[in-house]
Amino acid sequence: MNFDNRVVIVTGAGSERGIGRETANYLASLRATVVIADMNLEGAKAAAQAIEADGGKAFAVSLNVTDPESVKAMVETVVQKYGRIDVLVNNAGITQPVTTADMSLEDFNRIIAVNLTGTFLCSQAVIPVMAKNSYGRIVNLSSVSGKRGGGVYGGSHYSAAKAGILGFSKALAREVVEQGITVNSVCPGLIATDIRKGLSDERERAIWETIPMKRPGTTREIAFTVAFLAAEEAAYITGEDIDINGGSHMD
């Protein structure tokens, strides 16, 4: 895979030990120009500086995925700087370990807004730019929780948002296929990132026992699959979702 001259946006890549950061690093190693878009601008800048220190190309930009104006401004900034957007990785997401009985409407709306509405807003904003070049790759981060209804971490609102991403991605894939744009999703299981820090050691060990591989996945394993779907060579794959969970869930 070679991403020479490709401009890639990865949302939510400011977190130091997250899937987004590793995806940005991996795509940069494949010679992509990576835009790290995150609400945490300092984290995004640190990620971009690290990539550039390793000889890659990166740029940090502020982004609140729940705010249409922030999304619009981010896309305009990228287009002004590079003149194109080839790949969007909708990685930004949050979770919350709470039962439905204890969940407030504010909790529900916040999780849906960041995970699902953010995916919609960012995808909608880049489509016209991609369509001008008749080329684009959108890769959305869903979750095993969106398929099996939880069981890893996060409440029912998180499962609902991640399941919504799958339906949204398939519908969008049909809409934009004739514009040269593919839309696919990845569904990680338990991955060694900071997002699982709300799990107790006992709960995490219990989850490990449900995974045939008896371990969490790595961020590099997710990044590789994202890069595969984002590659030019994956042109005949659209509307698909790939499970990356060590065998803990099989369709």
Catalytic sites, residue numbers: 158
10 Å Cβ neighbour count for 89?
31
What does residue 7 show for φ and ψ, rounded to 5 degrees? -105, 120
CA angle 65, 69, 73 (to 5 degrees): 90
The neighbour count for residue 171, using CB atoms within 10 Å, is 11
In angstroms, the CA 195 to CA 93 distance is 9
Residues whose CB is less than 8 angstroms from the CB of residue 67 and which lie 6 or more positions away in sequence, other chains included: none
Q: Is residue 55 helix, strand or coil?
A: coil
Written as one letter, the residue type at 150 is G
Could you write out the DSSP letters of every residue in 192-247?
SSGGGTTS-HHHHHHHHHTSTT-S-B-HHHHHHHHHHHHSGGGTT--S-EEEESTT
Encoded tokens for 19: 């899937």
Show the tokens assigned to 53.
């220190």
